[in-house]
Amino acid sequence: MENGAVYNETTEPQAKQPHRPFVCTLRHLRGWRLPIKALQTILSLLAVICEEIVENCIKCGGLYFFEFISCSAFLLSLLILCVYCTAVYETLGEDKVQRVNFWAMLAIGVCFLLASVVLAVTSSGSAVEQAACVFGFLASGAFLAETTIEYFHSRKQNIDRRSENPGNTQSATENQPLNKQS
């Protein structure tokens, strides 16, 4: 007890782990999240590739719209995947990343679905355009599936939190006055 031996462990600062911003980790992508993120990125990349190798188009407006949306979807899905895998996730915080991910995936899914429908309507019927259209529908399905899963998952968590904390009850000890008047 002499020389502060009792307080030694609690008063010494702990060594911080070195901050490595470019280290990739998959710990935030557990369960269903990693396969669906990978599927979104791969399908949107395949849609971009198929769209880029179209040689002739009769009504090119739909193809150009699909090109813009599919390329944007690929880049945004890759960016969000990088956020989940790097230290940016801790910097922004789990709640912000989840919220941005939810709304971005919803917007991408809806726009990709719209672009796929427009491409299907305006395509000349070539095999490459049809393949791009199929990959567009599959990718939009993957984006919207993640949004749906995330919506029901967050809803279930909110219900579980409410059942754990039933709220204030008048008989609870916390609600009793500190100084009881007798």
Between CA 155 and CA 157 the distance in angstroms is: 5
- The residue-averaged pLDDT of 59-87 equals 92
Predicted confidence band at 32 (pLDDT cuts at 50, 70, 90)?
A: confident
User: What pLDDT, on a 0 to 100 scale, did the predictor assign at position 52?
Assistant: 93
In a domain, residue 6? The reply is no
Share above pLDDT 70 across residues of the chain, in percent, rounded to a whole number: 77
Predicted confidence band at 26 (pLDDT cuts at 50, 70, 90)?
A: confident
In a domain, residue 94? The reply is yes
Q: How many domains does the chain have?
A: 1
Which residues in 94-124 are b (16+ Cβ under 10 Å) and which e? Answer: eeebeeebeebbbebbebbbebbbbbbebbe
User: What pLDDT, on a 0 to 100 scale, did the predictor assign at position 22?
Assistant: 62
Between CA 69 and CA 58 the distance in angstroms is: 19
In a domain, residue 99? The reply is yes
Q: What is the mean pLDDT of the chain?
A: 83
In a domain, residue 20? The reply is no
- The residue-averaged pLDDT of 81-110 equals 89
In a domain, residue 51? The reply is yes
Between CA 7 and CA 35 the distance in angstroms is: 48
In a domain, residue 168? The reply is no
In a domain, residue 15? The reply is no
CA-only gyration radius of the chain, Å: 26
User: What pLDDT, on a 0 to 100 scale, did the predictor assign at position 124?
Assistant: 86
Which residue segment(s) compose the domain that 127 sits in? 28-162
